[in-house]
Chains A and B, each alone.
Chain A
Amino acid sequence: MDKQQTLAAERRNKAILSVVLAAICILWVLPVVAVVINSFKLNTFVKTDTFALPTSESWAGMANFVKGMTFGNYPFKSSVLYSVVITVLSTGLILVFCSMAAWYIARVDSLFCKALYFLCVFSMVVPFQMVMFTLSKTADVLKLNTPWTIPIVYLGFGAGLAIFMFVGFVKSIPLEIEEAAAIDGCGPVRTFFSVVLPMLKPTLISVGILEIMWVWNDYLLPVLVLDINKYRTIPIHIQYLKGSYGTVDLGATMALILLSIIPVIIFYLACQKHIIKGVAAGAVKG
């Protein structure tokens, strides 16, 4: 086969690949598009013309948003507050504790650390459904059932992935830099915060994004652990839109779903540059 032919074949393959990937992309984006379109449609049109763009007849304007937020007897702003509190606290805890733990695991060569590491990796493959019932009991007993304490539960569930990623990255940092810090006058704590943590920035951002998306969207854990009458997060609030009214108000539901994904998308776009670098940095050297 001569060169030109291979090149042509390559180009053809690329074209096929593009088409396939484009199709997958569309499938992926379709639900989001549906949410966006339908959040501006009157409830009755959501079921009948799901994928049609809003017409003058079906246009609901902001009505769905207003309805969704004022619906039922639970204030939407409390839901937002609790969602934010839980997400920020959980992610913060995970980043701080897991990066420290990962540094120790990566740098100390002991059986204990090996065991800890494999425990963390193992925890990633245990499905949540396997532990959720015992968890809700335990959480009640330990008073982990408020928005202020549930981040500790999230820390436990998030630690596996976070430590796995941090360890991979820490191992790629040359030890000499930390030794230089030790000679320059840092103790272990100083070394961590002044030298290691700044170098971990790309991984901090990628782990941060993953954890934020997970905690923000999580429904099952808060619903099982929190006292639903007192504390609702946004996903729970959305769920209750239908429970409280007999029929499902799909328009309002879509509107709230749209509201809840906007912050995540903004955050993701803002940090996108770092997440790709970070994921690669952690993964390749793992």
Chain B
Amino acid sequence: MAEVSLRHIKKVYPNSERTSKKGLFGRKKADDGARKASSLRITDEGVLAVPDFNLDIADREFVVFVGPSGCGKSTTLRMIAGLEEITDGELYIDGKLMNDVAPKDRDIAMVFQSYALYPHMTVRDNLAFPLKLRKMDKQTIDAKVNEAAETLGITEFLDRKPKALSGGQRQRVAIGRAIVREPKVLLMDEPLSNLDAKLRNQMRAEIIKLRKRIDSTFIYVTHDQTEAMTLGDRIVIMKDGEVQQVGTPQEVFEHPSNLFVAGFIGVPQMNFFDAELVRDGNAYSVHVGDAIVVPSAEKQARLAAQDVASQSITLGIRPEHISLASGDAATLVGTVDVSEMMGSSVHVHLDSLGQDVIVIVPTTEIEGPYQDHFFAGAKVEYAFGGNVIHMFSKDEQGTNLEF
């Protein structure tokens, strides 16, 4: 129903106290300490929140913007919503230029982190409000409200005011208000971050179910990588206003484009080692500590295609890709610091090559109590194959050398 295209979208928050007059009257926001602390580029014109954002979102796609706090996720979302003026660039929804279209005419709906329900209206009126404004007749409104309420399981609260609801129930109402209208694009700004862990998992599952039922295009903002991985068809990873990588959850997990993405996606975090990449003709090898790892043929081919020379690199290996093998060619040794029992696996923190290395050991591979093997100070040998390594340049960007 709706494709969304962002072309060279740029956002500068003006320096002066006067904010742009857009939407209602423009918005005002006290800049708190956290905002000041984030690494912003402050230019003559003001705060450069988003320098150049390009993305094409397909019809009915579920796209997740993810990144650390202050990276411009909300800003981008709000520009799509029309709550924030677009400094430069073009926004298209369904092929129509939307830069100067009022929020109400964009056929979008938004779920706010703070729910933003109308406190003086009952849940029913909250849900019906956007429909009433579209001058639908009473019967249609009732039918749609009841249907949305049923979908979200809030039928029994329809006649209560928002203040008589729990956080999770309020969140459902907020989502309900967004979906009754069947908007072309459904925007969500960290809708689950005010909920406790259990409820968040439950709501996440419900959002997955919900998106199958409705035809809207979803754009979802979160700083939680688990939410991004589980919900998104595609993930947009951002840092300091710039897009680091766009891809399916599997792509960004398996082929992170740079160090930042590699570190951001996946829990526990990827392990990083200082290493040397050695090129010999079209053959590559990686020297880390005393071990030598040979990248898979596929990786070697890609490195050769990029004509990558011998150099110092940052080597990345995910904790789940490290095995506790002995006798393997590429073995490294570490001393156990702490080990955490997670149920199905044990997270072993090793002190190896002067840094913290995390290894995930499935419980099924451990005989007897895990403390017998991974007590503090125990020596552990570990290894990893050449097919799971990630090689990043040593410069500031830390780009993946395979790209």
Residues of A within 8 A of B (CB): 104, 107-111, 174-188, 190-191, 194-195, 198-199, 201
Contact = CB atoms under 8 A, between A and B. Distances in A.
A174 B27 CA distance: 11
A186 B397 CA distance: 45
What's the dominant secondary structure at chain B's contact region?
loop
Q: Which of A108, A190, A195, A201 is the most central at the interface, judged by chain B CB atoms within 10 Å of its CB?
A: A108
A179 B27 contact: yes
A201 B116 CA distance: 18
5 contacts: A108-B26, A109-B28, A176-B114, A179-B110, A186-B133
Contacts of B21: 108
Contact of A110 (B17, B23, B102): B17
B182 to A, nearest CB: 13
Q: Which of B129, B134, B177 is the most central at the interface, judged by chain A CB atoms within 10 Å of its CB?
A: B129
B17 A109 contact: yes
Interface in B10-44: 17-19, 21, 23-29
A184 B17 contact: no
A185 B134 contact: yes
A123 to B, nearest CB: 23
A195 B130 CA distance: 12
A107 B112 contact: no
A107 to B, nearest CB: 5
Contacts of A201: 120
Given A185-B134, A195-B118, A107 B18 contact: no
B154 interface: no
A218 B25 CA distance: 38
B112 A176 contact: yes
Contacts of A110: 17-18
A201 B118 CA distance: 13
B108 interface: yes
A184 to B, nearest CB: 4
B24 A183 contact: no
Contacts of B17: 109-111
Nearest to A112: B18
Interface residues of B, number: 34
A190 B121 CA distance: 15
B286 to A, nearest CB: 50
A177 B108 contact: no
B18 A184 contact: no
B120 A198 contact: yes
A184 B104 CA distance: 6
B119 interface: yes
A281 to B, nearest CB: 12
Interface in B120-160: 120-121, 129-130, 133-134
Given A109-B17, A179-B83, A201-B120, A184 B28 contact: no
A31 B110 CA distance: 58
A201 B112 CA distance: 24
A188 B21 CA distance: 12
A107 B23 CA distance: 12
Nearest to B120: A198
Contact of B104 (A108, A177, A178, A186): A186
Contact of B112 (A180, A188, A198): A180
B116 A191 contact: no
Interface string B60-85: 00000000000000000000011100
Contacts of B104: 182-187
A112 to B, nearest CB: 9
Interface string B90-115: 00000000000011100011101010
- Nearest first, the 8 closest Cβ-Cβ pairs linking A and B are A185-B133, A176-B116, A184-B130, A198-B120, A180-B116, A185-B104, A109-B28, A108-B25
Nearest to A195: B118
Contacts of B24: 107, 178-179, 182, 188, 191
Q: Which of B25, B112, B177 is the most central at the interface, judged by chain A CB atoms within 10 Å of its CB?
A: B25
